[in-house]
Structure 1
Amino acid sequence: MAIRGEFSSRLGFVLAAAGSAVGLGNIWGFPTKVASNGGAAFVLVYLLLAFVLAYPVLMAELIIGRSTRSNMVDALGKISGSWVGRATGIWGCITVSLILAFYAIVGGWMLVHFAESATSLVGLSAASDWLLSPSLPRDIVFTAGFLVLTSFIVIGGVKAGIEKWSVRLMPTLVLLIIALIIYVSFQPGAVEGWSAYLVPDFSRILDPDLLISAMGQAFFSMSLGVGTMLVYGSYLSKQENLPGIGASVALVDIGVAVIAGMLIIPSMYVALNNGVEIFTADGSLIEGDTLIFTVLPALFDTIGGVGLIVAFTFFALMVIAAVTSSISMLEVPVAYLVESKNLARKKAVMVMTTVIFAASCIILVNFSTLFGFVISLTTQYSQPLLGLALCIFAGWVWRRDAILQELKEGDPYAEDTLFWRIWPWYVRFVCPVVIAVMFYRSVI
């Protein structure tokens, strides 16, 4: 059996885990949710729910992962002692593979726009025109390119691949966001954007829709439920204090989401000032792919020559955000193939990349039918139910003394901490109820 990898430093783990959590959703979903749901009031609710709901589930994944030193399938099999755990782990591997199948398509679009901004900078107008003309061959080529980029990093393993690149990419991501914030803040219209983002409307704070929206954002932005944090946790040193390191991951993820908002919302109001439409027919802010691929490129076009440099920087940022998430997704099924099926890492990566690319191609060929369906199936239905299952395994199936023993590895006095007084009953009673209510509201 292959020797398991391990993160060489606390910083390496925090940046890799935060990179997994910091995906495209933080940059194109979170800011518009903030501006459309009471500004800073939403940020406050989100911060609260990130620690009330997402952090306990994150801790469940980290503790299970490090204790069992296993992939998701074997880990849940070990703590449950039955086929139910293994079946749940396989369900998680299938879910994360399907998420990566549609995520790779979106990552491919990011590469398209990054390549287009590069060709525009050097004056290759024919190449730019081809890149901006949607077509199946273009999408297949760039989806493949995105998956090759992801697999190149994952083949390197934990230390030479995931950790090495996370330590480089995450600081670059933050520096690019800050550089763009400084530039955008000096443009006409930015002040209105800052106001929409930072001025709280406390009358909205108990709005059920705001609470559900903030809860969903907190849960999904930390990439919980699909085993990424469990697998990363399994590569953690036994000397690390788990509650502390989990809090660090949550804070970095929240921090990046908040500073992404400082870039996106002022940018939208600068676009509005330059004559670009930023509102939908019902008066809410445009979000998602329309925001990234229509509104912001239109803004870059209105600010002349410097707009090309801004566009290049922005899409570099989007590619980095996409890759730091995709490497953690690919690692989940790869870890299973390496450890349970005894495949060499390189072969396991190639097998899974090929399978996921085939799924991406099926989605692309049947785009109008499958793209939205796969997103709903995985993120709206499967992910919260997997989160619920992990809470049940950690709260009800796994023995409490085994959990405490694992926490004591990194902190001999874990039994006397506030975390141990609250977390076991919280993950047993509160989290399952809250996730079940969120799931019911989002589905019904």
Structure 2
Amino acid sequence: MADLFKDDTPQPAPVSAGQPLAERLRPRALGEVVGQEHLTGPQGAIGRMVEAGKLASLVFWGPPGTGKTTIARLLADAVGLRFVGVSAVFSGVADLKKVFAEARDHARAGKQTLLFVDEIHRFNRAQQDGFLPYVEDGTVVLVGATTENPSFELNAALLSRCQVLLVKRLDEPALDKLLQRAEAEEGRPLPLTDEAREALIISADGDGRFLLNQAETLFSVKLDEPLAPEGLRDLLHRRMAVYDKDREGHYNLISALHKSLRGSDPQAALYYMARMLVAGEQPLYVLRRLVRFASEDIGLADPQALVQCLAAKDAYDFLGSPEGELAIVQACLYLATAPKSNAAYMAQKAAWRSAKETGSLMPPMNIVNAPTKLMKNLGYGKDYAYDHDADEGFSGDNYWPEEMRPQTFYRPSERGFEKRVSERLAYWDDLRAKRNADG
């Protein structure tokens, strides 16, 4: 297992022509790390720790190719710690025990160890608990790296002993700086037009390692003239969007879709829905979310919203992909442009809460059925006012248990169809008050 560990403090590596471009351009100091100045700058959490010469246990949370491993190596160098790196993909309990034993030996000699654990979320709960005593007694300073939300993937006990630092997706200026370094390293510009260079940066999707690997491919080919975007697309393989359907990216995008719909922004809603479907999300999952939205955020403000979503589901079942996806688009646009109301959603919550609090109160005797003679004799259904026989089809009777005052769960908005519902309810309230006064 010796190749899984690196227990020497990192030093600037000699440059070898055989090394991958990304490795040759690996930063040699924290100040060379691009795109993470909010952490490595003088006012950043890492910058302050380095200035103080003392490092807390950390968890780096961020997407691939953003410098998490590099920062960890440079941190060890900056504060004079011994560096050991393990991968949760390849390491087990025996490997960790060996690391901790060696770390204790070095601690006795006055050299503390920075233990970097890549993909730390892949360790199970018991393995994560195994870090606790060694972090607490100072045997190691733990630096974990994860692409997943630590709140969901890491033990609360471990999280409480670590500071979580967000490593950001590299923006376009940071990626462009990486390309400039690559061109300086190679001593020549990339064989791309300005438009193709911009397309290359966008295709990296914030991943610096991917961008440098693509640049290395471009440097390795012989071209008669700079590539335009079309030629670049033909030469380089397409990068698939980072999207794990049971992970953080999934929940971020569905949340963005839902909130864009709620905010009546059809353009943004369509963009986030496209992100999900292009990345491989199941169309029926998206449709289920749209159906939910139609009831939760529109309701009776536009009763057709739910009909549109169910029709889109039927159309997709009938046509399949890709033709049926147009029906999903139609439903998405309908929801985004419909009047919004959460009155039905709030009414459900209030009614459910009241039902739990009031238990098994009996409805008024006059509105319960009397299928047997005994029940009739006991007064079931007696004096029931049949609304169709009343003036205007409205009796104004009381339908609440005797022990319970009438409640108002549903409060329609003044938007869309609910404005008419609101007017109708107000009319019935007035009529009920007049008839009760006359009675």
Q: Compute the TM-score of the two structures, normalised by the length of structure 2.
A: 0.23
More strand by share: 2
Higher relative contact order (CA 8 A, sep 6+): 1
Higher Cα radius of gyration: 2
More helix by share: 1
